Amino acid sequence: MRWAEITVRVPPDASEAVAQALMDNGCTGVAETASGSNATVTSGWLPVDDLLETRLTRIRERFDRFGEFGLSAPFDMTVRRIADPDWLSEWRKHHKARSFGRRLLVCPSWEESASGTDRAVVLLDPGMAFGTGGHPKTILCLEALDELVRPGMLVADVGTGSGILAIAAVKLGAAHVYASEIDALPRRIAAENAQRNGVADRVTILTPDELDALRPTCDLVVCNIIAETIVELAPLLSALVAPDNGALIASGIVEERYGLVEQALIQNGFEIAEVRADDVWRAIIARRSPVR
C-alpha cells in the first residue's frame, strides 16, 4: 500500500489542534518535532485510496477555522506519497526514554532504560492520545510534578489526555489521582495506560461533568490544556485546590496569552508562586490565596 505523508509546520500554540485534526480525519497517530523556536512540525499518514482527497480537504477546512478558536493558522502543509513505511521504526525515531527532574523517567515499552533504574518509571507508548512527554508544555508539568508531589497526596489532572501526568503523580507517591478528559477515546487510552503501569486502582478516570460534580479537595491540581480553557476552568480549579497550602500547575500557555491566565487565576483566589518557561511556553505554579 502507498501512503500520503502529511507534514504541517505550525505555531506552537496550535500544534495539538493540528494533531487532533489529522487524527479526526483518518491518521491513526502523529509525530511532532521542533522546528526552531517558533514552529512545530507535525506529521501524519493516510492511506492513498478513494477517500484521500476528501480527507485532505476536510483537514484544510479545519485549519481554516482555527482563528475562530483563538488559534494560529498553520504556516504551511505539504503532502507527499511514500512507500509502505516501517511504522515501528517511524515511532522509535521520535520517542525515546527521557528523565525528568530527580525522580522520574518516561519510557516507551521497547526501551531497556526502565530496568535497573531507581527512578519512578512511567511506561508510555505513542498512540492516539496526546502526551508522551516530548512537548514543552508537558515537560514543564512533569518537572513540576517531580518537585511537588509528596507521598499520600490527593491530585487532580484536568484534561488528562494519555494519562501521563496522572500516572506520573501516582508513581511519585500520590495516594490517588482524579483524572478528567472530555473525549471518550483518550479516557479509554488513559485507563489502559494506568492499567499497563499498575496504577489503575489509584487513578479514577472521569468526564469533566463528573469531576465538577465530585469536586474532590486536592493537595495538587495539574491542568495542561490551553490558555483559553484554563481561563474558563479557573473557578473549578479554585474549587479543587485545597485552601490550606494546595497548589496548582497550569501549563499549555503560550507567552502572549500568559496575562489572560494570570488575571483569571488571581480573580479566582490564587497567588502566583512561580512562572516557568520553555521557549514560548509558560507554566504557572500557583497557590490558593490565604483567607483574610
What is this structure's pTM? Answer: 0.76
Q: Letter for the amino acid at 19? A: A
The reported pLDDT for the residue numbered 177 is 98
**Nearest Cα to 35, choosing from 91, 72, 90, 75?**
75
Residue ranges making up the domain that contains 8: 3-92
User: Number of structural domains, the chain?
Assistant: 2
Say which residue, 108 or 205, is predicted with more confidence.
205
Of the three residues 62, 92, 122, the one that is the final residue of a domain is 92
CA–CA dist 40, 12 (Å, integer): 6
| Three cell numbers, residue 201 | 486502582
Read off the CATH number of the domain in which 11 is found: 3.30.70.120
* Count of CB atoms situated within 10 Å of the CB of 54: 11
**Nearest Cα to 42, choosing from 18, 63, 60?**
18
* Count of CB atoms situated within 10 Å of the CB of 124: 23
Say which residue, 12 or 95, is predicted with more confidence.
12
Q: Letter for the amino acid at 291? A: V
Say which residue, 279 or 112, is predicted with more confidence.
279
Same domain? For 88 and 130 the reply is: no
Same domain? For 128 and 85 the reply is: no
Same domain? For 165 and 236 the reply is: yes
Same domain? For 103 and 207 the reply is: yes
Same domain? For 114 and 215 the reply is: yes
Read off the CATH number of the domain in which 188 is found: 3.40.50.150
Say which residue, 129 or 80, is predicted with more confidence.
80
Same domain? For 87 and 212 the reply is: no
Q: Letter for the amino acid at 151? A: P
